[in-house]
Structure 1
Amino acid sequence: MASPQKGQPNYIAPSIEPGDSGIWATCEMGKEGKCTAELKDLFEEYAAKLYGGSEAQAEEASDDEAEIDIEAEIKKEVQGMKSNSTRKEALFQPVKVDIQCVLFFKTREPIEPVEFVHRICQDALEGSIKKHRWVKRLTPMTMMGKATAEGLEKVAQSVLQPVFHAEGTQARKFAIRPTRRNHNVMKRDEIIRQIASAVGPGHSVDLKSYDYLILVDVYRNILGMSVIGSDFEQLKQFNLAEIYDPTPKPKVEEGNDATPNTGRKDKMQAADAEK
């Protein structure tokens, strides 16, 4: 195995860090690599559509900085550090996670994950052309933090304040939906209670007719949070596969319109009750 050349730093794989923002994604089993490529194309297309003007200005500023410090750029190139990727590509950075069918993309400004994912799903619902095959659900994360009670409190203060605590904010109905992956330290009920406490008095819980849904994703020692609008269910919970190709609803049995055929699970439960 060849050792790195002198003066060339070892490659450090990107990781999810407190303070990051990003987007979780799910895909077909065994298609993580292909899905990563699909999402990169999809995200870059929408970055150009939504932030094209500001991105062009950012690239011009970057060019000016490069002219000022040519010597530093040459040094980077000699050391093998110069990147061929554009600033637009750097808006999204895939991070490897040790879970099948799950991906994570770190994002940076001007990307706002919730608005960004909402626009993608809204366009899909309104009939935009499907350009991907393996992508399923997208879950935006406004801010990441440590998966501890202190970390959750810090993230909650930052993410919830503009929605629930800003001056002039009216009473809102909210729901909380936590997801845990490879994590068994913070219990689901504990997470819910702490977030409800952070929302504070003046707002009420409504699991079905909420104004806002608070999503919390915990992965190993890191967690993320975002606040989603009331059209989350209409947008199939940001599941692009369901938006483009909805799963057929259970059929109603003939001659018994009031009783839907809910499938094998209910039959098994009925059988168990008879024993």
Structure 2
Amino acid sequence: MDKSKKRKSETSNGGPNPKKSKPWRVPKKGQPNYIAPSIEPGDSGIWATCEMGKEGKCTAELKDLFEEYAAKLYGGSEAQAEEASDIEAEIDIEAEIKKEVQGMKSKSTRKETLFQPVKVDIQCVLFFKTREPIEPVGFVRRICHDALEGATKKHRWVKRLTPMTMMGKATPEGLEKVAQSVLQAVFHAEGTPARKFAIRPTRRNHNVMKRDEIIKQIASAVGSGHSVDLKNYDYLILVDVYRNILGMSVVDSDFEQLKQFNLAEIYDPTPKPKAAEGNDAIPKTRRKSDMQASDAEKSPSIPDTQPSEDKEPRREATQ
């Protein structure tokens, strides 16, 4: 009995093997668990590509670039753009009081909502959710236009930017809903003249909706009053499908002039290959259609629906 009492006293006084109580972490009241942002139907945003393995650095570069242009285009600072958007919104007093109590009205949180990066499981691909007053197409076009006009390059890893006016479910019904919303102002507004258009779909981690099906459904949504012209279009319809979500936007005919919104190409254009002399020269018998096929494999964003330019009859081999 004396020994048992002695052991208890040694343990309680920090003996050779004291038992430590396990620290339990209790979440603070009013602080909800963090939920990673995701792409939802009705969102707008900007797809971006970057150098392999530089997704984190590219995200930081784009946040700085986007915030700079938000201040330039919408006046003052990003916080002012937030306030302008909040004035238009209907204020719920009880919700505002709860947010203040929970500490959810910090400036850092408000800034993140204007350009919110969303992690996707594809190498070299990023997505930024945007919200009003940001208009993705005009916003990206201005960035690329300034770059073409000689604006100082302030990023290293950014490549192509692809604006998405509206996101929806990657189903025929979802595509129809997005098309009705995005195409209305360009093709169906009262007094709209006949337009020439092209469609350029891109699919990532998606094999449910086929490329041809997407093109046919969008062409049907545009309507018979407009015509398809793959080279001299007035407007280009961009469609990006990622897993179970898709996005759409309509860009102007200067899309090619702006290097398809590829900032890397604008600042440092890839030199065009020159025909070598002597034995290394390209054979004259090589057809133009063969060259286009190889170029299409290198650039998956270029549609494979372009008509072949090969007008010469195929020559059969003679024995």
| Counterpart position of 2:65 | 42
Per the TM alignment, residue 57 of structure 1 is displaced from its structure 2 partner at its CA by: 5.1
- TM-superposed deviation, 1:67: 16
The answer on whether the counterparts of 1:24 and 1:141 sit within 8 Å (CA) in structure 2 is yes
Give the Cα separation in 1 of the matches to 2:77 and 2:297: 66
Question: In the TM superposition, what is the alpha-carbon distance from 1:251 to its structure 2 partner?
Answer: 0.8
Of 190-199 and 53-62, more deviation after overlay is shown by 53-62
* Pair 62,154 (structure 1): closer, same or farther in 2 beyond 3 Å: closer
- Flag the 1:237–1:263 CA change in 2: closer, same or farther, 3 A: farther
The correspondence for 1:142, drawn from 165, 184, 187, is 165
3-state SS of 2:89 partner: helix
The structure-2 alpha-carbon separation of the partners of 1:73 and 1:174, relative to structure 1 and needing over 3 Å to count, comes to: closer
| Structure 1 residue 177 displacement after superposition | 0.3
Between the two structures, name the one with larger relative contact order (CA 8 Å, sep ≥ 6). Answer: 1
C-alpha contact (below 8 Å) 1:23/1:140 kept by paired residues: yes
Offset at residue 64 of structure 1 (A): 9.4
Do the aligned residues in 2 keep the contact of 1:96 with 1:104 (CA within 8 Å)?
A: yes
After TM superposition, give the deviation of residue 61 of structure 1 in Å. 6.6
Cα distance change, pair 71–207 in 1 and its aligned pair in 2 (3 A): closer
Give me the CA root mean square deviation. 4.7
Contact 1:173 1:206 (8 Å CA) reproduced: yes
**Cα deviations by residue, 1:145-193 (Å, 9 ceiling, x for unpaired):** 0000000000000000100010111111100000000111100000000
Distance apart, 1:115 and its partner CA: 0.3
Residue pair 1:44, 1:89 contacting (<8 A) in 2 also: no
Distance in 2, Cα, partners of 1:128 & 1:274: 32
Contact 1:253–1:260 (Cα < 8 Å) also in 2: no
Distance 1:61 1:130 in 2: 30
CA 1:235–1:260: 2 relative to 1, 3 Å:
farther
- Report what 1:210 is aligned to: 233
Cα-to-partner distance string for 1:212-239 (whole Å, 9 max, x where unaligned)? 0000000011000000100111100000
Whether the 8 Å CA contact 2:147–2:266 is kept in 1: the answer is: yes
Q: Which residue of 2 aligns with 1:27?
A: 50
Contact 2:81 2:133 in 1 (8 A): no
Residue equivalent to 1:231? 254
Q: Distance in 2 between matches of 1:193 and 1:208?
A: 18
Unmatched tracts of structure 1, length 5 or more: none
Q: 1:12 to 1:251 in 2, by over 3 A?
A: same
Q: Unaligned stretches of 5+ in structure 2?
A: 1-26, 299-319
Partner of 1:91: 114
Deviation at 1:5, TM superposition (A): 3.2
1: CA distance between counterparts of 2:63 and 2:174?
Answer: 29
CA distance 1:218–1:270, change in 2 (3 Å) = closer
With over 3 angstroms needed to count, the CA separation of the structure-2 counterparts of 1:217 and 1:80, relative to structure 1, is same
CA contact (8 A) 1:36 1:94 kept: yes
- Rounded to whole Å, the distance in 2 between the matches of 1:106 and 1:126 is 27
Contact in 1 for aligned 2:44/2:165 (Cα 8 Å): yes
Report the counterpart of residue 206 of structure 2 in structure 1.
183
Partners of 1:63 and 1:7 in 2: how far apart? 23
Q: For the pair shown, which has the larger CA radius of gyration, 1 or 2? A: 2
Summarize deviations over 1:246-269 as a string: whole Å, max 9, x none: 001001223799959999999999
Tell me how many residue pairs correspond in the alignment: 272
Q: Structure 1 stretch 20-29 or stretch 259-268: which is displaced more?
A: 259-268
* 1:90 to partner: Cα distance: 2.7
Distance 1:273 1:70, change over 3 A: closer
Equivalent residues in 2 for 1:71-90 (5 A)? Answer: 76=99, 79=102, 81-85=104-108, 87-90=110-113
Distance 2:121 2:50 in 1: 14
What whole-Å deviation, never above 9, does each CA across 1:78-126 have from its counterpart, x for those lacking one?
A: 6454434164543111011111100000001111000000000000000
Q: CA deviation at 1:202?
A: 1.1
Q: Is the contact between residue 252 and residue 261 of structure 1 (CA under 8 Å) also seen in structure 2?
A: no
Partner SS state of residue 108, structure 2: coil
For the structure 1 residues 41 and 139, does the alpha-carbon distance in structure 2 shift closer, same or farther, using more than 3 Å as the test?
same
Q: Deviation string for 1:18-37 (max 9, x for gaps)?
A: 00000000000110000000
Hey, what's the Cα distance between the residues in 2 that align with 1:18 and 1:187? 20
Task: Determine helix, strand or coil for the equivalent of 2:241.
Answer: strand
- Alignment check: 8 A CA contact 2:85 2:133 kept: no
Secondary structure of the corresponding residue to residue 127 of structure 1: coil
**Paired residues of 1:47 and 1:88 also in contact (CA < 8 A):** no
Aligned equivalents of 2:297 and 2:238: distance in 1?
39
Deviates more, 1:243-252 or 1:49-58: 49-58
